[in-house]
Amino acid sequence: MEFDWTIALRYRDALIDGLLMTLQVSVLGIIGGTLLGIIVACVRAMPGLFARRLAITYIEIVRNIPALVKIFYLYYVLGFNAMLAGLIGLSIHQSGYISDVITSGLRSIPREQTESARVLVCSYPQTFAFVLVPQLLRLTIPPMTSQYIEVVKNSSIVMFLGIAELTWQTQQIEFETARGYVAAGIATLLYLAIALSISGLMSVAAWKWRRAI
């Protein structure tokens, strides 16, 4: 039994590269997942049963297939390159959950808010922009925080497509030194740091809006 913490120093560059790649994949995945989630939630909120059922079916399919299967499908069957398959897979995977967050946020805004705006003769776009969206942003901060952390966590599976992010580097260090646990420990701390930064950023926003809602 030996602890060889010098491994962390020796593989410093690999870990930093991995961290940067993880950040890149996560940020793009968060953006993609949010945009897709917004679209799905909008379709779901559209009047009429057809749009609603379409959105719900999409959500059910997306939720019930593991993310790993999605990225393999995109990579091996649909022939996307590794990065694109990973990003699309992560975005689609999280969009199902994010759209749910937005839908329940929309539902928790009292009906009187939109009706007040209508009685005040605001148009639909005005109601949406001045009344619904600002409230939605505030209401969805806590659930969105966990959604975004989830994207960061899921970003580790793109290692299966050979993308050299943090988890891939960890495995690489294990292969080369058989002391992967050191790298895993450091990688864990880095993941925790990312998660903490995300929730920190989100609580800054929440703090800014603390007086309203």
Footprint of other proteins on this chain (CB under 8 A)?
A: 1-2, 48-50, 53-54, 60-61, 63-70, 72-73, 76-77, 110-113, 115-122, 126, 130-131, 134-135, 138, 149, 152-157, 159-160, 167, 170-171, 174, 178-181, 183-185, 187-188, 191-192, 195, 209, 211-213
- Minimum Å gap between C-beta 211 and other proteins is 5
Residue 187 contacts residue 196 (beta carbons within 8 Å):
no
The smaller minimum CB distance to other proteins, of residues 11 and 191, is found at 191
Helix locations, the chain, DSSP H: 6-10, 12-45, 49-63, 67-72, 82-108, 111-119, 124-126, 133-139, 141-154, 166-177, 180-208
- Minimum Å gap between C-beta 182 and other proteins is 9
* Long-range CB contacts (within 8 A, 24+) of 47-56: 55/99
- Minimum Å gap between C-beta 23 and other proteins is 14
User: Residue 21: what are its φ and ψ, rounded to 5°?
Assistant: -65, -40
The smaller minimum CB distance to other proteins, of residues 10 and 53, is found at 53
The smaller minimum CB distance to other proteins, of residues 36 and 139, is found at 139
For residue 97, give the nearest of 25, 151, 43 by alpha carbon.
Answer: 151
The smaller minimum CB distance to other proteins, of residues 42 and 51, is found at 51
- Minimum Å gap between C-beta 135 and other proteins is 5
- Residue showing tokens 């969105």: 144
